[in-house]
Amino acid sequence: MATALHPLSVYDPESVPSATPYRFAVVVSEWNTAITSALASGCIETLEKHGAGNIKVFHVPGSFELSSAAGKLADTGRFDAVICLGCVIQGETRHFDFICEAVANGLTQVGIQYKIPTVFGVLTTQNQAQAEARSGGALGNKGVEAAVTAIKMADFFDKADQPEA
C-alpha cells in the first residue's frame, strides 16, 4: 500500500537481482488507459533498468480480462513472469467489488496452477485522484513496484528450482 512515507516507486535498486536472464509478459488493461499507460511505462522502464531485454506487452479490454490473459500466457511456457496492470475505480454500484475480487483470485490461481510469478499490478482506488497519485503521481507508480516484484519472484523461482549445493 502506498503512503506518503512509503511511495510505490521507492526501493533499493541494490536489492533487485539482474533481470537479464528472464522473459517478461506485461498485460495492460485498456480500461482507464491514461492510468494503465502510465503504469506500463513505469513497469517497462524499471524492467529495462535492471537488464530485461525480453519484454512482450499485451493489451486486454479491461481488468477482468487480466486473469484469462495471464493464464493463456503462462500456458505457453514462454515467460518467466507475467505482470498484470490495471485500474479499477470505485463507482456507484458493487461492480467494483466483483471485479477486484475476481481479478485478485484469478491471478492468484494462475500463479498457483502454472507455477509462475503472476504479479498483481492493479490499482483499486476510490477515485481518479487516488489512481493518478499511484500511477506516477505523488505516491509513485505501481508499475515500478510490479516490475520489481516480478524480477525478484522470477529470481526466487529460478533459485528454488536449483539443486542444493
Catalogue the active-site residues.
95
Query: Regarding beta strands 140-141 and 135-137, do their DSSP bridges make them parallel or antiparallel, or are they unpaired?
Result: antiparallel
- Going from the C-alpha of 81 to that of each of 15, 51, 107, 136, the distances in angstroms are 18, 15, 12, 23
Question: How many residues does this entry show for the chain?
Answer: 165
Residues 149 and 27: their CA atoms lie apart, in Å, by 15
Neighbours of 79 (CB within 10 A): 24
List the 23-29 sheet strands across, edge first. Answer: 54-60, 23-29, 81-89, 118-125
